[in-house]
Amino acid sequence: MQFFIDTANLSEIEEAQAMGVVDGVTTNPSLMAKENIIGPDAIKAHYKAICNLVYDNVSAEVIATDFDGMVKEGNALAKIDDKIIVKVPMTKDGVKAIKYLTNQGIRTNCTLVFTTGQAILAAKAGASYVSPFIGRMDDIAHHGMGLITQIAQVYQTFGCSTKVLAASVRHTMHLIRCAEEGADVATAPFQVIEGLFNHPMTDIGLARFLSDFKEVNEGEENQKELKAEENRLEEKIAIVNS
């Protein structure tokens, strides 16, 4: 399963990329606003900066809600860099735009998916990715992971090329369950991905290894010092006897 980092923060993207475990980036208007990226020129420049940091797969979302507007924005976003995947909402006009952009050879990510039926429509339109929102489903007492399972099974049954990109990932267990349930990709905030590194037994084990190593090496150093002192004494005795 691939990991995408869900952020528009360049420092987080750079650090995640340096770890060597992140395969792409997802953004949305809220994340761009959080970084105070305002206006078409600033947005374009920021996406260029993101694309310069990663190897591929940068989801950039359209703001328009009508077909013509989404197509216009989608084409403009795709021209920024070949790494751009145009993110389009799950609406009637959104599905139409996905079909149109796909026919133009532009990769798309259908976002705000909350049912298997919506995921089927996105796949029919040719979406490269479909983004079911796990956490938001959980928020309203629905089974978010169950949605991932259902979509993955349907896509596998019919050989769909559309990839399941699990979104609204809130914690590390979401990531692990996504892998178990067959998601192709999971996108998560930087701190959630970082959380996979953490386990107290790892910390305890590392501390023990270092302690043992230090103890042995300090012992070796003492032995070396004693041997050196012994050699010095032998030299003194040899001089006296001569």
CATH of the domain at 33: 3.20.20.70
Q: Does the structure show a pLDDT above 80 at 184?
A: yes
Look up residue 129 and give its two tokens: 């990715």
Residues 182 and 240 grouped into a single domain: no
Look up residue 98 and give its two tokens: 């996905």
Residues 214 and 176 grouped into a single domain: no
- Return the bridge partners of 110, or none: 88, 130
Q: Does the structure show a pLDDT above 90 at 111?
A: yes
Please state at what angle helix 172-181 crosses helix 144-158, rounded to 10 degrees.
30
Using CA atoms, how far apart are residues 218 and 239, in angstroms rounded to an integer? 32
- Which of 79, 87, 96, 236 is catalytic? The answer is 87
Residues 161 and 58 grouped into a single domain: yes
How many residues are given for the chain? 242
* pLDDT tens profile 19-32: 999 999 999 999 99
| Structure confidence at residue 95 (pLDDT) | 99
| Structure confidence at residue 212 (pLDDT) | 77
Residues 203 and 190 grouped into a single domain: no
What sign for the dihedral angle of Cα 22, 28, 33, 39?
Answer: positive
Q: Does the structure show a pLDDT above 70 at 119?
A: yes
Task: Give CA angle at 104 (100, 105), nearest 5°.
Answer: 120
Residues 79 and 12 grouped into a single domain: yes
Segments forming the whole domain that contains residue 18: 2-195
| Structure confidence at residue 186 (pLDDT) | 98
| Structure confidence at residue 60 (pLDDT) | 98
Residues 191 and 211 grouped into a single domain: no
* pLDDT tens profile 37-84: 999 999 999 999 999 999 999 999 999 999 999 999 999 999 999 999
- What's the average model confidence in pLDDT over 222-231? 60
- Report the predicted TM-score, pTM, of the whole model to 2 decimal places: 0.86
Q: Does the structure show a pLDDT above 90 at 117?
A: yes
* pLDDT tens profile 194-209: 999 998 888 888 888 8
| Structure confidence at residue 237 (pLDDT) | 52
- Percent above pLDDT 90 for the chain: 81
Give yes or no: 48 in active site.
Answer: no
Residues 125 and 225 grouped into a single domain: no
Residues 90 and 34 grouped into a single domain: yes
| Structure confidence at residue 230 (pLDDT) | 56
**Which of the pair, 147 or 224, is modelled with greater confidence?**
147
* pLDDT tens profile 76-102: 999 999 999 999 999 999 999 999 999
Residues 31 and 119 grouped into a single domain: yes
3-class SS string, the chain: CEEEEECCCHHHHHHHHHHCCCCEEECCHHHHHHCCCCCHHHHHHHHHHHHHHCCCCEEEECCCCCHHHHHHHHHHHHHHCCCEEEEEECCHHHHHHHHHHHHCCCCEEEEEECCHHHHHHHHHCCCCEEEEEHHHHHHCCCCHHHHHHHHHHHHHHHCCCCEEEEECCCCHHHHHHHHHHCCCEEEECHHHHHHCCCCHHHHHHHHHHHHHHHHHHHHHHHHHHHHHHHHHHHHHHHHHHC
Residues 115 and 29 grouped into a single domain: yes
Q: Does the structure show a pLDDT above 80 at 238?
A: no
Using CA atoms, how far apart are residues 51 and 145, in angstroms rounded to an integer? 30
* pLDDT tens profile 130-166: 999 999 999 998 999 999 999 999 999 999 999 999 9
171 φ, ψ to 5°?
-155, 175
Closest CA to 57 of 87, 100, 29: 87
